[in-house]
Structure 1
């Protein structure tokens, strides 16, 4: 018996409990089991005053190893522990009879696992910090199923939703709501081809086996779990259906919201279908739709007979990006080393010049001879680390200039290296143009890395002194932000040149439309069948005019005029305005998607009442407008755009004061030139939309604009002069892209003034 009232009965080593014994604390906690020099180590069981119990392995006084914990609330966990935390593989049954079977990390669900709700909902997939995140499959008790990507417990990204009636929706989601383009296949339409249906099932099973394989691999990598327990976990995980709902995040509300959205969408579809008197009941149709935060904005009805077999199942998860893919670069050889070489080189270069004191840029810092050259053998050297790639040569052009540019754009060197060279790596993007260049994007979406052709490298080196002066003189320039220029070579093989730029579309908001606008018209359109969420559209595809606040428009047009004049002075053509649109669904329409009092209360109606106005299947109510508020940097936290300098823009509508954009569910966004710029998009009816099979549900939209000038490395050289002369003989000289710099800049500025208008 100790002086503090604790009691121990068992073996000792000196004055410390050792080997085996029973220890009773003064508060009523009791442990009986193995000891090692005064620490609970080995196997034992402990009972707390709350009647919670643990029976299993200990180490150094901690729950550590494999064991079973029964909580005072009736929950039961059986699995791996680490330092008193559930960590590794384990199965937990909650007080309400929910069951989670899978991976844990420091006490929360993290990794691959299966969650079964007591009402029959089930989920199989990936978790992060206790929430469904990553790829996963959810099946609700009513028969609905979702297979796709999740984030923080909500559907987020690409996926498909199968309704219990047999209809399918392929599309994208944001925070649990449909957001972006998608296709609805009504019940029965997927049975049009037995071959296609079987192909879909094979694809689904392959995806599920991939998830199960990931689970199996994660199980094999965990330690301290018996083979018997691992086998039982695997059998349960693989055989359970693909299912789930977010714990504590309104998962059942999500299901209700999805079903309610589906029902109301069907009302609109039915009203459209009724107007197509020339159709027969035997003809199968699909609905190509576009949603904004759960609100249906546009619909196009298509006959199944016009869709190819490839078109029926052209949906591919993660079509925008392919992580760590190979490229045919070095004489046709497949190489997956390029990303690693790039990361090693940037890490070396930035680290090498970081200690050098800052100084003014000199003329000798420019030009092809201003470079750092280094050899990276795979086995390593005194200056370079060993690596898994092949031997390569690295060049970093004008390092002092680009370091100064990164400083001007308020970019920290450590942040720059972590974004590009961090463990999450780079993702490959498909090229949006005809240049044949390869594009990579950093894992945090802040930087885009593009391969350069040799002549583009020379143009950038030639224009760099002028570009540097222009950036210093104009804080808010909208010309591409350059952060570094590099080359990689493998011995006698050809070199690959890269440039690192800022990503114009780095935002937490979904970019619903992307446009590459030049001001020319010849060939500047995209076939409808080729359009998906990742498609960058062209001039003739733009069917909107944007009405802006007076001060915001003046600032935009003024800076674009300065940038265009700068490019004209350097004889640059073929540049584009990259424009991204984030549409905002009106709040009073989003309220229609709130879950009803009963999960099963989804009555179909042919009329919907909104703010006292009745519309028959088509919403005619204009948006309320985006809310601009006075910028308060000292008292309110705002979210700035990446790599943006200068002061917040002033808005005429709030008395000429600096403005923030207030978005429900997002917070305050700092309004800057080219970033977070609010506008109203007025839709212009196109020839295709005169066909009643395509319906635009709004004429005016609230939008947030993201824009910048890209592709600024094409000089008006002899080749372009010949191209301009030849094409002018066949087409209207004003419609072709290859035009003399003065004509090109004048036409480009005319485009800007034509699409960005003053708010009435």
Structure 2
């Protein structure tokens, strides 16, 4: 800038202000206006344009530390476009808003790393390219300074990973292409391969939707980076799409969870090498292992990982057609890789229904929350306990204008469900933000035969299910007894209901919803899900219908689970109480939803990696010593509970379970590499899974290699809205003519309850 060489003598010859600052330049009355030079008492120097005492226009700021800024200012703030040079040698050139990097910009860090892309409130946020000084490159989405969302990582060794990212680590579906030509398609969990996937040897034929179709060059990146400021978002989006089109796997990806703020836009080791080290050591079968029984070369393998440890590998069946027919390849891949949910977007069949639901819940919760909390009364359950409202598009005296379709809204028993939410410490504002915030809901594929549609809030805390009219009647009929049962038993395993609503569209179509707690809202990956009823007729899943998102059934379960003795006693005490309640309401067809998080097999881990993971969890040295001596839990560590330090279960209240191995104290579960979790009944419960027979539908490991796993369990009783009515009696009579009457699901409530408990007692046997 023109005045940059102005000497300190010029400033000192200016006017000294009453506060000791010095100003030389033009005035408007008594305040600086126009061009001038200003020096504060701490030595900070500014020379540039002013507007009625505010730095506004072009200017240069020099701080005593040696940092400087040259660019636009507005209202006394750095605002516009400019260049900042830090004391450490870092340089940022780009857009600013109120003293913070905001918009498009390029940052060259002191260690020579470079970020080029979008910023928000001083942190990389949006689309951008990060280049480490070692040459590794990431191009994709950022959130609060960390890689978050869809993106592609390219390492100097030639490996490339196209994946979803969360908090700086690969997290979700992804496709890794190695420099050797090998490929792995599967799931990552916090930077580690986790779950089922397909490994393609070099030279193997990829499915049609994974074949390389084009490449992205450095010229493409430079072209996008040189675009105008207003087009940067579109240009980088286009660039990312081109990267993703290198492998056509759009169906793999879903929006990740929101993450906490970060401060450093790099991986854990500040080099981008964390995942490259994992990928560069991808095991490749020897030539001998590439031969199948017929002597043909096997190029594709089905693999399963648990926290980065390979526990299963088998050749892909040639008969599946994946190696021969490109059309069959695409169909099979889409079926296996397609996720269990999709974000509802504009144009989606459920888009306007979602908007109506969000509008109605926001209205109801906002209306009931200011009412002072009180005990539920009998008239809070009656037919008059309803809130009804019409929502025209143009708005009304009571409702805001909206961009959806006209609809009528009905909210059932609002005071009852308000008290239920209070029981589980669900804040009204959090509840509305979770369901009615800026983010869309996600639609899940239905796990049952009811035809219900399931939606999931973006933070995954709540499940919203459509109800049949008969189910709504049953729920409202049992609601008083349900409320008393939930209030009496803090640790009940029965589904948590938080709201019941109905939307009536202009054509007269009525859609009923119930909002429930998501029992699988956990930071841990759920590797297997089972829906267990205790019946056997029709309770298995066809092998061709199974993928990692499938909810399996009774006959698919090939494990028993050993838990601490006090936990088992508390578990079955609560199951018996819950079943007694359901039996009193003539309810059948309910099931135990069981979610399993597998830990990596202990004997496949090294002691050093295990201890390092514990140290990263912040476990004291004394506890580490106890951990090394405690062989019974192997991959787990149980420590005395410390309030405020653990991750609790979603919508869980009541007392914690006590562990006999910890002196019958309330305990926290420490998972190496993950964190510390509060252990409660049915939530974060560590157990030992023991293989009792060969799984009918999936192969989890090489036979004879592993017989037991450390697992974390999540349990809950679901589907409690089916009465034993006339139609169920007829179903029982008809099916009994063909099948064993005790094997079918439709039996009387007393028989159903006993059979259900007896089956679970076999799943959770007593330890000898």
Please say if residues 367 and 462 of structure 1, whose CA atoms lie closer than 8 Å, have aligned partners that are also in contact. Answer: no
Larger mean Cα displacement after TM superposition, 163-172 or 685-694: 685-694
Specify the SS of the correspondent of 1:758: coil
2:212 paired residue number: 201
1:551 is the counterpart of 2:566: yes
Number of the residue aligned with 2:551: 536
Select which of 143, 160, 165 maps to 1:145: 160
Contact 2:311 2:701 in 1 (8 A): no
Greater displacement, 676-685 / 303-312:
303-312
TM-score (norm 2): 0.84
Q: What stretches of structure 1 of length at least 5 have no aligned partner?
A: 223-229, 329-333, 596-620
1:273 aligns to what?
A: 289
Post-superposition CA distance 1:658-693 (Å, at most 9, x none): 222222333332211111111100013316699999
Instruction: Say which of 593, 618, 630 aligns to 2:640.
Output: 630
Q: Secondary structure, in 3 states, of the residue corresponding to 2:477? A: helix
What is residue 741 of structure 2 aligned with on the other side? 733
Counterpart CA distance in 2 for 1:558 and 1:626 is 25
Partner residue, 2:259: none
Q: Which whole-Å CA distance do the structure 2 matches of 1:384 and 1:692 have between them?
A: 54
CA distance in 2 between counterparts of 1:46 and 1:271 reads 66
| Residue in 1 that maps onto 2:752 | 744
- Show the counterpart of 2:727: 719
Instruction: Tell me the CA shift for residue 490 of structure 1.
Output: 0.9
Deviation at 1:696, TM superposition (A): 7.1
CA distance in 1, matches of 2:194, 2:236: 36
Contact 2:311 2:700 in 1 (8 A): no
User: How many Å apart are 1:183 and its aligned residue?
Assistant: 1.6
1:201 alignment partner, SS class? coil
Cα 1:297–1:460, aligned 2, differ >3 Å: closer, same or farther? same
- How big is the shift at 1:488? 0.4
Structure-to-structure mapping, 1:597-746, within 5 angstroms: 624-633=634-643, 637-686=645-694, 695=703, 697-746=705-754
Alignment of 1:394-473 (within 5 A): 394-473=409-488
> RMSD over aligned Cα, in angstroms?
3.5
- Mapped to 2, the partners of 1:34 and 1:434 lie a distance apart of 71
Query: For the Cα contact (< 8 Å) 2:215–2:242, is it kept in 1?
Result: no
Q: Against the structure 1 CA distance between its residues 592 and 111, is the aligned structure 2 distance closer, same or farther, given a 3 Å change threshold?
A: farther
Partner of 2:387: 372
Alignment-derived partner of residue 18 in structure 1: 33
SS at match of 1:487: strand
SS of equivalent residue, structure 1 residue 716:
coil
CA distance in 1, matches of 2:700, 2:367: 63
Distance 1:718 1:238, change over 3 A: closer
What is the deviation of 1:345? 1.1
Give the secondary structure class of the aligned counterpart of 2:549: coil
After superposition, the C-alpha distances for 1:499-537 in whole angstroms (9 at most, x for unaligned) are 111111111111111111111122222233332232111
* Structure-2 separation of matches of 1:126 and 1:324: 20
Write the distance in 2 (CA, Å) between the matches of 1:432 and 1:50.
62
Query: Alpha-carbon deviation of 1:639?
Result: 2.4
Matches within 5 A, 1:441-520: 441-520=456-535
The answer to whether the Cα contact below 8 Å between 1:504 and 1:706 also exists between their aligned partners in 2 is: yes
CA shift at 1:242, angstroms?
10
2:304 aligned with 1:290: yes
Q: Secondary structure at the match of 2:366?
A: helix
Could you say if the C-alpha distance between residues 375 and 730 of structure 1 is closer, same or farther in structure 2, counting changes exceeding 3 Å?
same
User: What is the CA–CA distance in structure 1 between the aligned matches of 2:92 and 2:242, rounded to whole Å?
Assistant: 21
1:367 Cα deviation from its structure 2 partner: 4.1
CA contact 1:294–1:590 (8 Å) conserved in 2: no
Structure 1, 144-153 or 533-542: larger mean CA deviation: 533-542
Offset of 1:89 from its aligned partner? 0.4
**Equivalent position of 1:585 in the other structure:** 600
Where 1:679 maps in the other structure, the secondary structure is strand
In the TM superposition, residue 474 of structure 1 has moved relative to its aligned partner by 1.7
Asked if 1 retains the 8 angstrom alpha-carbon contact of 2:503 and 2:512, the reply is: yes
Q: Write the distance in 1 (CA, Å) between the matches of 2:741 and 2:542.
A: 24
CA contact under 8 A between 1:553 and 1:756: conserved in structure 2? Answer: yes
Which is bigger in relative contact order (C-alpha 8 A, separation at least 6)?
A: 1
Q: Cα deviations across residues 290-321 of structure 1 (Å, max 9, x unaligned)? A: 21111122333213452331356327877232
**Residues 441-477 of structure 1, C-alpha deviations (whole Å, 9 max, x = no match):** 1122211110001111111112112212222222211
